[in-house]
A = this chain, B = another copy of it.
Amino acid sequence: MSIPPAGVITLLTDFGLGDPFVGIMKGVIVSAFPSARIIDLCHGIAPQAVAEAAFWLERSFGWFPAGSVHAAVIDPGVGSTRRILALAAGGHYFLAPDNGLLAPSLLGSPGASVREVDVERHGLRPRHATFHGRDVFAPIAARLASGSLAFTSLGDPVEPRPCVLERPSRDGERMTGSVLTIDRFGNLITNLGEELLRGIRAPHVLIGEHAVRVVRTYADGQPGELIALVNAFDVVEIAIRDGSAEKYLGFGRQTPVHLPLANHPLPA
């Protein structure tokens, strides 16, 4: 549990970059910890899309140095009585509202520990009710990352709310998942993990009226062909070679995606 802090802080928010909110959080961090290494994980999470943030946090943190502090501020309940959690897991630290943002893979990892950040104890009772990213998350992240505050001093152990990230479910002869997020290229990223494909000879997925074959890489598709592949985050992604599957299909987040489990070929 005593992971030495790496001095690295990542920020994941739904603030966008059109306003100075993220910049101000960084000002607070460097005021408290001048040599902090701050990295924007992403600020383009759809407003208040906790599940999307949960997915990206789980799939991203492992690419940062052990001992990093990952502050995730997607916080529709800011100003309410919702708690702020700190998690030590997998050699990393996480700060997040208690709104289901923390993935089961993190919470359930060996030795994982969750504490409620005791805002009063740390002198951080915010005067304002709308910007805890600046008033709570940034100063706590700075102290944790600099080593001036130990994880165990943050507050008492608590049980977090269950994660909002939906998992695929079995539905007769197929698994049913959904589109979790869509990237800038119009690729539809689903919650169907690569492990679901194992043992299926000619896997394909169904989205709307479309049966889409699973290939290895974008280059395996014909120009304009709708394809599916296991992407770099180990989940199935639906794409079009040299185009936007989002535009072509007209589907958005939460669209159901089915994976037939039987070893049969693609329907005609």
Contact = CB atoms under 8 A, between A and B. Distances in A.
Interface residues of A, number: 64
B134 A217 contact: no
A149 interface: no
A184 B10 CA distance: 21
A131 B65 contact: no
A36 to B, nearest CB: 9
Contacts of A30: 8, 37, 39, 64-65
Given A129-B229, A134-B63, A217-B80, A10 B23 contact: yes
Assembly of this chain: how many copies?
3
A21 interface: yes
A147 interface: no
Interface in A52-84: 56, 59-60, 63-65, 68, 76-80
A41 interface: yes
A37 B40 contact: no
Interface string A112-139: 0000000000000000111100110000
Interface in A1-39: 6, 8, 10, 12, 14-24, 26-28, 30-31, 34, 37, 39
A43 interface: yes
A218 interface: yes
Contacts of A15: 184
Given A23-B41, A27-B64, A63-B24, A16 B128 contact: no
A23 B11 CA distance: 9
A180 B167 CA distance: 42
A12 B37 CA distance: 21
Chain B CB within 10 Å — which of A23, A47, A60, A128 has the most? A23
Given A17-B42, A27-B65, A129-B217, 11 more contacts: A6-B34, A17-B44, A22-B40, A24-B60, A27-B68, A48-B185, A76-B242, A130-B217, A130-B229, A130-B231, A134-B232
26 contacts: A10-B27, A14-B184, A19-B44, A20-B42, A26-B40, A27-B41, A27-B60, A27-B68, A28-B63, A30-B39, A30-B65, A31-B63, A31-B65, A34-B65, A47-B185, A48-B185, A78-B217, A79-B219, A80-B217, A128-B230, A129-B216, A129-B219, A130-B217, A130-B218, A130-B229, A131-B231
Interface of A: 6, 8, 10, 12, 14-24, 26-28, 30-31, 34, 37, 39-44, 47-48, 56, 59-60, 63-65, 68, 76-80, 128-131, 134-135, 181, 183-185, 216-220, 229-232, 237, 242, 244
